[in-house]
Structure 1
Amino acid sequence: MKGVLTAALAATALAVAACSERDGAGRPLGLAAAVDSSGDSIPGRKPGPVASVTVSPESATVAVGDSAGFFADLRDAAGTPARDANVRWSVADPTVAHIEGEFGQSVILRALRRGSTTVTARSHGKSGTALLVVDSLPPPPPPGDSVATVEVTPSADTVAAGDSASFFATLRDANGNILSGRAVSWTVSDSSVARIEGAFGQTVLVRAVGAGFALVTASSEGKSGSGSVLVR
């Protein structure tokens, strides 16, 4: 009995000693380990609340009757993408263009009449806007600078079979300037995993078909970029 009591007292002493040691923030190491084991307090483990919303492209010009796609890039205070946050889209003047479809961070607008309007994405109290110009004529030919890079966002997405995922292609010239009004083609590497449901210029909507992994690639003027979709 005396041996059991001695062992118990020794274990208690070790636990107290562990908690009495302090980390750099002045917390007991034993308690810090218990807090950090949840993962929530470890920096970089997962994105925090939405701190900024940036809508791309900043502006687009289309003809009456055509469609335009926009993408909302959500970031936390550390600049980490926040992909699971809800996004609400709105158009300032619904007589110029109306929302044809919302797909999370992407939206498709249909141009109704000549004019201009802003499109706004809101998430967790933050918002970002872009400008849509609707002309009675097709947009002017693109400037001389050619496409140097194509970046597809999000870079990766995970969906269930039967659900949809949207991707947006950002085109830049050699100086890093964003380009618009360029022809973009979309492809999916494995049609048994996902298929293209609709392509709207720089935005594409893919439908998850079966479990697996596929690349979603945007190409423009000989340059290309890819995102991935994992279907579970």
Structure 2
Amino acid sequence: MTFTFKLSQRLARMRPVALILSTAALAACEQPGVSVSSPPQPGTQVVKVVVSPAAITLVPSQNQQFTASGRTEAGDSVAVPVAWSVSAGTISPSGLYTAVPTPGVYAVTATESSGSVAGTATVTITEAAVASVALSPSGASVGVGGTQQFTATLKDANGNVVSGRTVSWSSSAPLIAPVSGTGLVTALVTGTTTLTATSEGQSGTASLTVTALPPPPTGSWPNEPGGLTQYSDQPWDVLGSWALNDNAAGNSRLVTLSGLPFSSPGALQYLFPIGMTGGGGGTGPGRADYYYPSGQQPTETYVGLWIKLGSPFQPHSSGVQKFLYLTDNNGAVWSALWFELYGGQTPMRVSLVNQFTGCPSIRIDPNATTTPINPGEWHRYEIYFKLASTGTANDGVVKVWVDGVLNVSASNVCSLGRDRARLERVALSGIWGGVGETKTENDYLWYDHTYVTGH
């Protein structure tokens, strides 16, 4: 048998089998609901989801676009539909993430639509750096003795307000208006200053103008007790019943001034010349004395007067600037109650020193209100004093009002008693300082009107 014949026989036997298989496949394709699919090619199965960026640092409320792709077993990158979720913050269906306000570490997750695989990115939220500092108000004007609160608003580079940061405050002129650590400014004397708030190397500024207060309203003496007898009502155009003493240098004299608050145009002026030493040799620039009439010396008295320090004014380091004292008539030793404008720097305050004979030498400071006293300002002072009932009673009374406001009120003042002494003199004494130091400028102290009553 030849090879050709054998091959033809075999092909003949295979034709029916091939026909059957072809027919079956065709029938299967024609039947509804029956499909034929190929198994996945090796290495094409998606085994993980990759989120990009994988890690990022943001500031609160910052936006970031995330993307996701699939990775196959073979390491190929393929597009896959995903659902986005976050542990904190918000994210859109397209992967746009918005950071939360609270610093921390959070997760952004992309899950493949079948739910079988997912990928995660790490988001670190840090505090935003301060990019700008703005002060409010940006400018202000306040009268001497007043206060002004400033606030600092901190923002990041995106214009978002940031909080919880350290802010330091400073004033370009602290002697005019110092500022506290919270932005509260206190107006001491007239002038201008620039306030600066600084945080994380960024600063903002505001301006403050300190203006002089208008003089208190003129008129009568509102806190004078009833039942007292008038001794002197002195306008200082003439000396009247007063006398200038210890005035060899001529530093005490009557002058004409404009702008007097009570009885224009006459004023009593004290000059503290360059070179004057503290204490002024015990006499200062001189003084004006009023002696209560013999036989009418009171045990209680009321004194009203207006006073202004020149501006500028060089305070003594001791803080002492006397302006008045009351003496008794014990006849043996010098014995008095001093009244002072007290303070080694402005603003000053009213203060008293008890130097009555037989009594402890003590300072009596404001215990009701402290009215700030600055150079260049007129202030009205009202003083009421009553001797103690006896030398051992310590029940003397003193009250001091500044511009109608009670500053000092004490009812335990030691003095010679009313059974042994009377008040002898009102002395307008402008002694500067304690001892030592020297005036480096010509300074002035003015009195406008002095009113004395008693009983």
TM-score normalised to structure 2 length: 0.23
Q: Is the radius of gyration larger for structure 1 or structure 2?
A: 2
TM-score normalised to structure 1 length: 0.43
Higher relative contact order (CA 8 A, sep 6+): 1
